[in-house]
Structure 1
Amino acid sequence: MENILNNATLPVEFILLGLWNQAETRPFLVAMILLAFITALSANGVLIVLIQRDSSLHSPMYFFLSQLAFMDICQILIVVPKMAIDSLTPGNSISLAGCGAQIFLTMTMGGAVCLLLAVMSYDRYVAICNPLQYHSRMNKRTCLNLAAGVWFGASLDALIQTVFVLRLPYCNVKEVNHFFCEIPVLLKLSCTDTSTYETVLFVTGIVLLLIPSTIILSSYSCILSSILRMSSVKGKQKALSTCSSHLIVVGLFYGAAIFMYMRPSSYHSPEQDKMVSVFYTIVTPVLNPLIYSLRNRDVLGTLRKLLWKCIVCQKF
């Protein structure tokens, strides 16, 4: 073991082996990923523009939705372009600095989404279950403080994790069987005992995954309880449909992240890791704007008004 550690060095670069191994299906799958990429950028970008332009959407709920849309745009920009290039021209390397940047940025965005979804569920809980206290509890200063806390907490955790994992010895192992640099995958390549770090990663998962998901489930339980007491059948059906859609997206994101980050490295396999990572880096950025916002009547109304203005301007 001592000889191994003496020979261990930090690689100057890594080679990402990509998402797919079969060359014949690669062009089709790359096209599907690029379609998801364009959809996520377009939908989230449109959502941010609509919220900024329409004063009727300047409320805490839409402020947090614009933050979520920005995080989704950043997440998919960090992962997909490099993955597409590597898939079309295999063998491309990523520098140690580039790998560290990917880890830091994806961890920051992932952690921020975890915390923000909990904040959003609390916002909806106050709005539905305590409507008379909503404006006093969720004032502008509170919203800004919550958003700042989300970004600070996620970036601090990401910085600590990134510095630690990049200092591990890798015994000149360069090939990473994944489509981007991710902590659980790199841990398997290290030639030293990573059990202590896995424990730290597990505790981090409790803070950033289990606690927020508990807050979300508690908030939506109270919300559903209030909905079931509604007298309007139509209103009840609409609210139930919205809540169920939100919970599906939350379940996909948290389920995939918990499966990835809260298992011992011995239980990880490359194919499983890659498929699970697709959910929270590509699938949820596509689904979030569609589920949370573009099915929303206020957002669609603002979109129609904006499109109508564009048509009128073109005519004159």
Structure 2
Amino acid sequence: MPLLLHVVLPLYSLTAAVLVWSVFVRNGGLDTINQAIEHGRYPEGEAGATRFTGLGAVDDALMSLVAFNLPVLNAGFDVGRLFMAQFVAGVSVVVFILSVEGRRGRRSSLVFMAWGLASQLATSAIVLPLYLLVHTRRGRKAKGRGSVSPHAALCALPSHLLGYGVPAAMMFDPLDQGPHAKSLWALMFALCPLTIALCTRAVRALLPRASTTKAGYNALQMGYGIVGAVAAAFHVMTVVKAIAQPASLLAGLLSLELYPDMLRDKILTFLKLDYLITFAALLTWAYSEVRDIYRGRPLLLLGMFAVGTVVVGPGATAAVACLVREAGLNRGNVKSG
């Protein structure tokens, strides 16, 4: 299976480059955003903050991150908001897994932040398979593959909830704070690897150090369980709502129009392709990891992954797989003192 990963994962990245970005460029989505930002505004009449640092080039770059998210968050775009909600919940699992893997061994937190920001800028469908490829090659050579310090494990979930969960929820504007605040939350979400890193520093200073491997292990398992449960809840909610409104929501979620007229539909197509390839890569890696630890019955394991993806969604399935993997990595190592 590791040999197969070395072939499949780069293919995912290549497919993403061809499908995700090339389609978005050819259908004019990228050009529409760039033209609007050149004129100091957001596309399709969206409103929000346009100055963040006072540096023109930096502000334009930050505006482009916000401009990509605002159209699908628009209150009048029911299909976009529904898809975005379950997309954000699912990707939460990806981000949590990457932050945990970034804490293994003696890796610097800058590694997670660098890969995470690259994923946000170039899309996770391109960057994640490459990260998993590099991580797999290094992880299986390292002696301390399963090592996450107890204190780092204890800080993982609170940092994730503050740095990712809060901006992700608030950019939907549940408190009706207005377009300016909404755009700032959308920017924080786009820069979530940075916000998670900052929150991690604060949480590490506030939380007492976990002195046992068991405390750290339990914290990680709780983290996988919570992000997985949230992803499952939003997956089920999306399915139920779509079935209840087949003519609008279900059709909109299942369709994949490559060259629509409106920018929001172009972004939605981009996100759908990004979502499919990202989770194909993550589940391929997770399957390989679980099978590597728990030998035997590969077809049964594959069937469990398939059923889980349909019933509770790919995000929750990946979270459960990592929970099981963590248990395998820590067999015999979990001590209470």
With normalisation by structure 1, the TM-score equals 0.39
